[in-house]
Structure 1
């Protein structure tokens, strides 16, 4: 990946005083990036591309309104979790030359060798009033350096349990795409890094430039910080890490459902333990939650595709269309065909016991 060297805000938190420092000339927004070993390439690329597209008129990518640079203590190429390497642009220097310093994390085992030089640099940035950004597991790096004490931080719901196990005394937020708490900005990674970058562009350059970047990237609109993280139906929203992981496994086996006992085995839990967690967190059973995921997907496909009921039943893990129709009627009070026909008696209840 080549580059050219050169705030959606949680409403309860004020924007950092140092985040909008006046500048007489030059770029209006500058970001220095620190990449951890096995960093997530898409999170980094989404962030950088929003800056790149906002930095110039049209799509010429000149770093005029924005400047970004990958920083390093050794200048060695950094390999991402996908195997693609990125060559840093400059050595660690004066962090005050940037408006933000962003740490891009990735796989957990890539965080073990973050050098002392990086940690010192992050502390110098903090002391200079430069806001710090943790993207994906970059929040882990900031916390290990003692730079998130007393702050709220955003963590992907998939890493919520890892965070709790490694860091006592911190309350990670895993039900929104990013969090801004004073001079700390944290993001769940993936596509949400584009929305965090767009927030910064809007604050420093303007809403039109932020929207332009997202539109070119085929993203409809900027999402606010408190937008729920994607991946789970809102009706199954929970902070319980065991339940979240079980739901992820269920989503990965929608078309060929596996047993609750097998899900528990893969997680290292007993079936009874898993059932107890589901009952406490969602007041339902794992079996019912799994059926709810499959029926929710079937309803979405009925409303948004031309696929036949038979095809949808196969893709959602039902034996046949009769099985889907029976379970669909039990939950929604009407047959699947009513969705296509627009005959939906009483509408669709959002919270109906799943069986």
Structure 2
């Protein structure tokens, strides 16, 4: 009798929540995508950051109760095994490493199809969009993927055109997101829809995110100077972006991408008409110019953060590229 009373109270609390979410995490899921999304819910659910699941509730559901390991090695214990998806307002599937897409879990796909049949909206985070497509649940829907995985998507799903130039897409009862911090913006969109603007804004502010972005906001990624469909070049450019303050050599990039140095240089010539080293220097110079325009940081600090040895090195390279010194360029902005 006591257990039954506890169960009934739990059901009432679930019904009182204004937004309920069930998370499906695949093996080697992306922890950042999951953590950003669930933290927006956590902070919107209660006053301040007290974290009581009052206005929002969430559970990790899985085929069994074994821990699910993220790509970074952290494991998450499910709350419960798959039951009725109708207990949730949304089912959110969190994808991960692209290599895992070759090993689909039929139990997960069956649960997602069950949710779709019950009319529960489905959300795909990161490569979760791939999982929804593979389960046959995105036919006739627009889907968002990271620009980094655009070519991977095209190679796996013939005839489907993913959206990879905005952070998330809401198409009726399918919501898909590129991953990373954009999952926080998608979660804030749902909090705004079900609870209110004040709660979504509060969540983002506590997470040090200045304001909510709508789905049409462009994905952070490749600088506009470099547009290519070559997957090797795109991955090299991403590696460069992640290493702007501590530049890596072309040989190191080639080893990381598991291609030869000459092969990498050939891909850059054919795709961009330039060398990897020249592209890397251009990317770092654009970062330095951006900081000169938008920050009050010293020239020495800008040089360090954009991967130059010192302010003299930055000045020489900057002058060759822009026919101006960093000091004079900054001074001209105020004229």
Give the match for residue 88 of structure 2. 98
Q: CA separation of 1:119/1:332 partners in 2, compared to 1, >3 Å: closer, same or farther?
A: same
Q: CA RMSD in A?
A: 2.7
Deviation per CA, 1:93-137: give whole Å up to 9, x if none: 111221111101112334454432221111111112211111111
1:278 pairs with 268, 272, 278, which one?
Answer: 272
Matched, 1:195 2:189: no
TM-score, length-normalised on structure 1? 0.80
Partner of 2:16, secondary structure, is coil
TM-score, length-normalised on structure 2? 0.84
State how 1:155-174 maps to structure 2 within 5 Å.
Answer: 155-174=145-164
Instruction: Give the count of matched residue pairs.
Output: 317
State how 1:225-304 maps to structure 2 within 5 Å.
Answer: 225-236=215-226, 241-254=231-244, 255-256=246-247, 258-259=249-250, 263=253, 266=257, 268=259, 269-279=263-273, 286-303=276-293, 304=295
Higher relative contact order (CA 8 A, sep 6+): 1
CA distance in 1, matches of 2:235, 2:17: 43
Partner of 1:196, secondary structure, is helix
Question: Which ranges of 4 or more aligned residues in structure 1 deviate by more than 6 Å?
Answer: none
Give the match for residue 123 of structure 1. 113
Structure 1 or 2: more helix by fraction: 2
CA distance in 1, matches of 2:305, 2:20: 46
Deviation of 1:339 (Å): 4.2
Instruction: Say if 1:298 and 1:312, in contact at 8 Å, map to a contact too.
Output: yes
Q: CA separation of 1:239/1:130 partners in 2, compared to 1, >3 Å: closer, same or farther?
A: farther
Q: CA separation of 1:164/1:69 partners in 2, compared to 1, >3 Å: closer, same or farther?
A: same
CA distance in 2, matches of 1:246, 1:115: 31
Deviation per CA, 1:247-284: give whole Å up to 9, x if none: 1132344343534x7756746345333212114xxxx6
Matched, 1:139 2:129: yes
Give the match for residue 343 of structure 1. 332
Give the match for residue 109 of structure 1. 99
Instruction: Say if 1:257 and 1:317, in contact at 8 Å, map to a contact too.
Output: no
Partner of 1:82, secondary structure, is coil
Give the match for residue 307 of structure 1. 298
Deviation of 1:211 (Å): 0.4
